[in-house]
Amino acid sequence: MGYPENVLAGDEQVVLHRHPHWKRLVGSVLVLLLATFVAALAAAWVDTLSWADNAKLVVSLVIGVLWLLLVGRFTLWPFLTWLTTHFVVTDRRVMFRHGLLTRSGIDIPLARINSVEFSHGVIDRMLRTGTLTIESASQDPLEFYDIPQVERVHSLLYHEVFDTLGTEESGR
**Phi, psi (deg, nearest 5) at residue 28:** -65, -40
Q: What pLDDT, on a 0 to 100 scale, did the predictor assign at position 26?
A: 97
Residue 47 has pLDDT above 70, yes or no: yes
Task: Please state which CATH number belongs to domain 12-19+86-170.
Answer: 2.30.29.30
- The predicted model gives 147-158 an average pLDDT of 95
pLDDT in tens, 87-102: 999 999 999 999 989 9
User: Distance between CA atoms of 52 and 56, rounded to whole angstroms?
Assistant: 6
- 27: which DSSP letter? H
Categorize the per-residue pLDDT at 28 as very low, low, confident or very high, splitting at 50, 70 and 90: very high
Q: What pLDDT, on a 0 to 100 scale, did the predictor assign at position 1?
A: 45
Q: Give the number of residues written for the chain.
A: 172
- The predicted model gives 136-146 an average pLDDT of 89
Helix and strand numbers, DSSP H then E, in the chain: 5, 7
Helix (H, G, I), strand (E, B) or coil at 85: coil
User: Distance between CA atoms of 144 and 140, rounded to whole angstroms?
Assistant: 13
**Phi, psi (deg, nearest 5) at residue 103:** -90, 145
Other beta carbons within 10 Å of 118: 19
Residue spans of the domains in the chain: they are 12-19+86-170, 26-81
Select the more confidently predicted residue: 4 or 112: 112
Other beta carbons within 10 Å of 100: 12
Q: What pLDDT, on a 0 to 100 scale, did the predictor assign at position 169?
A: 53
Categorize the per-residue pLDDT at 6 as very low, low, confident or very high, splitting at 50, 70 and 90: confident
Amino acid at 161: V
Q: Please, what is the average pLDDT of the chain?
A: 91
- Helix residue spans in 26-149 (DSSP H): 26-48, 53-71, 77-83, 122-127
Q: What is the model's pTM?
A: 0.85
Q: What pLDDT, on a 0 to 100 scale, did the predictor assign at position 172?
A: 43
**Phi, psi (deg, nearest 5) at residue 49:** -75, 155
Helix (H, G, I), strand (E, B) or coil at 14: strand
CA atoms within 13 A on the CB side of 138: 7
Residue 124 has pLDDT above 90, yes or no: yes
